Structure 1
Amino acid sequence: ATNQVGNMLLNKRGVKRGDVVMLVYPPGLDFIVAFVACLKAGVVSVPVYPPMPGDAKDLLKLVAVQSSCGASVALTNGTYMRGVNLAGFKSFLLGRRLQWPEMEWFVTDVARVAKSSHLALHNEFKKDDVAFLQYTSGSTGAPKGVIVTHGNLAHNSHALQVSGKTSTNLVNVSWVPGYHDMGLI
């Protein structure tokens, strides 16, 4: 599945290695597939809280993050996109205008069933290469982006292993969503 999503990004949507892509997913496996696909493709992902589609205040935070990181593409799943479309239709009927960021939106659960699964993986990362951007919650101000490099990820994985918190036989299950730093790394 990660190859199909990565292939869709690189070969069908014009995204290039190093480009920034927002991941706007409710908690679930679709987020993990998209996140790993971005890593494999060398694309910088920005995991974000999926705003309630009809909540103008939530949307302002999404717009602020998009403006800050400069993403022109957002990935999500079909369930969330249906909610976005329904909220847009409802706001139109009520005469309200919701402000969504100006980006191309792609539904990745559709890409996962595509036949083309070959992806030329980008597997030569330098420790200073950006893996993803993690945004703060914005609880005391505007959300701020923190660069997480491949070196940061390797160091964190090593630290967990040395501390005895991980092993090849350990399975970790968490209730924290992937867009949250504790749920991601």
Structure 2
Amino acid sequence: MLPVRGEALGVVTNWPPSLEAALQRWGTISPKAPCLTSLDTAGKALYVLTYGKLWSRSIKLAYNILHKLGSKLEPMVRPGDRVALVFPNNDPVAFMVAFYGCLLAEVVPVPIEVPLSRKDAGSQQIGFLLGSCGVTVALTSDACHKGLPKSATGEIPQFKGWPKLLWFVTESKHLSKPPRDWFPHIKDANNDTAYIEYKSCKDGSVLGVTVTRIALLTHCQALTQACSYTEAETIVNVLDFKKDVGLWHGILTVRTT
């Protein structure tokens, strides 16, 4: 029996050390390159997000998450804390900025579905997950915030089974500009938690799956090589960009090439 020589394994030697480092690379060397294009139901482009805009907006959001929630002595969110991401399925741009803003702030995003009513059964299970994760802040878009159920006073009521949340709108016009000397701490991927993805069980319960930063980077690298993704390549994503395959290919993996 003779061994058969297989195909040479393509080895990439210039991988960025983390997803945040990849964003920094493309946001600075190719700021005008398109990163994500949002389409309407007819396939018409609604908005084109460039790498430069994603980088600058994510930095701005990261600063506000860490320094503009709560007080200077008692911030509401610290590195390592969990925050909910509540964005509709038709707004991938706002979701992407929020997700990377969390990574740059070193807080843990927990993407969930938009609650439809105060007593929605599925929403109650999501609320239990948020409570178990210690979530006290929910990031959302202006349009989504306006569409949430309101009380007679115009405030968002506490949804049944949910912890008490501070709702924070992430559009740039609502955020403070970071000082010139402020910059996010970008380090190599490690075993810290990157994000928590929810999974629905057959009995209707919801579980949170923790993904570490090193697992996130390694899986993105594996998908990039398996799918032979290259620079400036365009992929079409019709899946839910907040979880599973849609998140991995539409939001995460294409940022590491």
**TM-score, with length taken from structure 1:** 0.84
- Confirm or deny: 8 A CA contact 2:61 2:175 kept in the other structure: no
Select the residue among 26, 31, 49 that pairs with 2:113.
49
1:18 CA displacement? 0.7
Letter matched to residue 88 of structure 1: K
**What pairs up with 1:140-151 in 2 under 5 angstroms?**
140-151=203-214
Consecutive unaligned residues of structure 2, counting only runs of 5 or more, are 1-56, 70-74, 249-257
Q: 1:72 to 1:125 in 2, by over 3 A?
A: farther
**What pairs up with 1:65-80 in 2 under 5 angstroms?**
65-80=129-144
Partner-residue secondary structure (3-state), 1:136: strand
**What pairs up with 1:18-33 in 2 under 5 angstroms?**
18-27=80-89, 28=91, 29-33=93-97
Please say if 1:101 is aligned against 2:163: yes
* Residue identity (%): 30
Distance 1:104 1:177 in 2: 25
Distance 1:101 1:33 in 2: 24
Partner-residue secondary structure (3-state), 2:65: helix
- Confirm or deny: 8 A CA contact 2:127 2:163 kept in the other structure: yes
Partner-residue secondary structure (3-state), 2:195: strand
Residue in structure 2 matched with residue 62 of structure 1 by the alignment: 126
Letter matched to residue 39 of structure 1: L
Distance 2:222 2:186 in 1: 22
Q: 1:81 to 1:60 in 2, by over 3 A?
A: same
Q: 1:50 to 1:107 in 2, by over 3 A?
A: same
Distance 1:53 1:2 in 2: 30
Partner-residue secondary structure (3-state), 1:88: coil
Q: 1:39 to 1:112 in 2, by over 3 A?
A: farther
Q: 1:117 to 1:47 in 2, by over 3 A?
A: farther
Mean Cα deviation higher: 146-155 or 53-62 = 53-62
- Confirm or deny: 8 A CA contact 1:52 1:58 kept in the other structure: no
| Higher-helix-fraction structure | 1
Residue in structure 2 matched with residue 9 of structure 1 by the alignment: 65
1:20 CA displacement? 0.6
Count of residues paired in the alignment: 179
Distance 2:83 2:188 in 1: 18
1:21 CA displacement? 0.6
Q: 1:158 to 1:101 in 2, by over 3 A?
A: same
Letter matched to residue 239 of structure 2: V
Superposed CA RMSD: 2.4
Consecutive unaligned residues of structure 1, counting only runs of 5 or more, are none
- Confirm or deny: 8 A CA contact 1:51 1:62 kept in the other structure: no
RCO (CA 8 Å, sep 6+): is it higher in 1 or 2? 1
Q: 1:21 to 1:172 in 2, by over 3 A?
A: same
Mean Cα deviation higher: 98-107 or 112-121 = 112-121
**What pairs up with 1:165-176 in 2 under 5 angstroms?**
165-176=228-239
1:52 CA displacement? 1.4
Residue in structure 2 matched with residue 37 of structure 1 by the alignment: 101
